[in-house]
Amino acid sequence: MKHIIVSLLLVLLSASPGMAVNLRMMTGPEQGTYYQVGQEIAEHTEEVGLHLEIIPTEGSWANIVGLFNNDAEFAIFQLDAFLQAEKNLYKNKAEDIHDEIKVVMPLYNEEIHVIKAKGRELDFATEERFVVGCGRENSGSCLSAGVIADFYGKRFRYVYDDYENALDDLRAGKLDLVILTAGKPYGLLVDQVGLGLVSLPRSRKAVDIYLYTEITADDYPWLEQPVETYAVRSVLATMIQEQEGLANDLVGTLHFAIQVNQDKLKKHGHPKWQDVFFAGHIRDAGHVGALQSLGVCNFMKRYGHRCTDMVSDK
């Protein structure tokens, strides 16, 4: 109980302008969901003395590498990229990636969009070889494309370019598919024409990494019928090490700023905030500062209050 009360006091004290701290968060392309979500987080951390610089990047894999290179203190990335980093970067090391990177909070599911040109005769189930655009080389979409190829025994030849050019090349017949992993509705796709989505057959290999879901015309008006696909959880993570004092307080304050503003984020922010489980954490990977923030909210709940009671949702 004492630790929870102390944490609450630290969070409240951090709102003092004299304690302003500059931090950085890597997100994704400027037109993407990560970037918008990061900007909306920054609006509310500013209110509690944390100036958060939002850095656009190529995506998930670049963000994990960026954390290791100290390019930022926080980053958003796909959970499958985290698992891939564990395999690739730590396979010959005694260390555990969970000792280096800690999850501040799980965010929302991102859907894998497998896009084709409208009217293109293409049978994903039976065809084996495809020319695929997936954004920049180190993006989370390219990582997801590799996983999909492995799931279904496909051979993908990749073309790395930004999504706008990739979609133009798709319509021109230069690409067979564009694979894009992003929270629906992805802004770039909403007003597109001449596109369709490919349904992904269910695979038992996907169970440990992905969830099965649907993309519908409610997400993209040009979609003629629902398609089945996979979704992967995104997370907000940090390389700030768990240490009593300022380190834990910084992470806890950022987490608490999101917690208390969850009603405002759901009401005024990106639609994906509706899918965030704000009280959630990932067992054995959560940062102690974030867990202390959750403890504050649970403490308040015991006395009949919500964290969101501390701010107006207007």
- The mean per-residue pLDDT over the stretch 213-236 comes to 94
Instruction: Count the residues in the chain.
Output: 314
Q: Does residue 139 contact residue 66 with C-beta atoms inside 8 Å?
A: no
The mean pLDDT value of the chain amounts to 85
CATH number, residue 174: 3.40.190.10
| Residue 14 clears pLDDT 60, i.e. is over it | no
- Give the CA diameter of the chain: 65
Domain shared by 98 and 118, yes or no: no
Q: Which of 210, 238, 217 is nearest to 109 (CA)?
A: 210
Domains of the chain: total = 2
| Residue 189 clears pLDDT 60, i.e. is over it | yes
Compute and round to an integer the Cα radius of gyration of the chain: 20
Domain boundary among 218, 233, 248: 233
Q: What is the pLDDT of residue 18?
A: 52
- The mean per-residue pLDDT over the stretch 123-146 comes to 90
Domain boundary among 201, 233, 265: 233
| Residue 97 clears pLDDT 90, i.e. is over it | no
Domain shared by 104 and 238, yes or no: yes
Domain shared by 100 and 142, yes or no: no
Q: Which of 123, 81, 113 is nearest to 209 (CA)?
A: 81
Strand boundaries in the chain, DSSP class E: 21-26, 50-55, 74-78, 102-117, 129-133, 155-159, 177-182, 195-197, 211-215, 227-238
Domain shared by 116 and 101, yes or no: no
Query: Averaging pLDDT over each range in 208-212, 217-221, 241-245, which range is the top one?
Result: 217-221
35-52 pLDDT per residue, tens: 999 999 999 998 888 999
- The mean per-residue pLDDT over the stretch 59-82 comes to 90
Domain shared by 66 and 179, yes or no: no
* pLDDT band at residue 1 under the 50/70/90 scheme: very low
Q: Is the pTM of this model over 0.85?
A: no
* pLDDT band at residue 172 under the 50/70/90 scheme: very high
Domain shared by 300 and 192, yes or no: no
* pLDDT band at residue 313 under the 50/70/90 scheme: low
| Residue 106 clears pLDDT 70, i.e. is over it | yes
- The mean per-residue pLDDT over the stretch 234-260 comes to 88
Residue 249: give the domain boundaries: 2-108+234-310
Domain shared by 117 and 196, yes or no: yes
| Residue 105 clears pLDDT 80, i.e. is over it | yes
Q: What is the pLDDT of residue 111?
A: 94
- Percentage of the chain exceeding pLDDT 70: 88
- Hey, CA dihedral for 215, 216, 217, 218, is it positive or negative? negative
Q: Does residue 57 contact residue 137 with C-beta atoms inside 8 Å?
A: no
Domain shared by 53 and 79, yes or no: yes
Q: What is the pLDDT of residue 15?
A: 44
* pLDDT band at residue 256 under the 50/70/90 scheme: very high
| Residue 185 clears pLDDT 60, i.e. is over it | yes
Domain shared by 121 and 92, yes or no: no
Domain shared by 226 and 114, yes or no: yes
Taking the C-alpha atoms of residue 186 and residue 181, their distance in angstroms, rounded to an integer, is 9
Domain shared by 122 and 204, yes or no: yes
Q: What is the pLDDT of residue 94?
A: 56
Q: What is the pLDDT of residue 175?
A: 97
Q: Does residue 236 contact residue 104 with C-beta atoms inside 8 Å?
A: yes
Domain boundary among 195, 218, 233: 233
| Residue 70 clears pLDDT 70, i.e. is over it | yes
- The mean per-residue pLDDT over the stretch 122-141 comes to 90
More confident residue, 6 or 144: 144
Residue with tokens 């509705």: 185
Domain shared by 79 and 224, yes or no: no
Taking the C-alpha atoms of residue 299 and residue 8, their distance in angstroms, rounded to an integer, is 9
- The mean per-residue pLDDT over the stretch 10-32 comes to 71
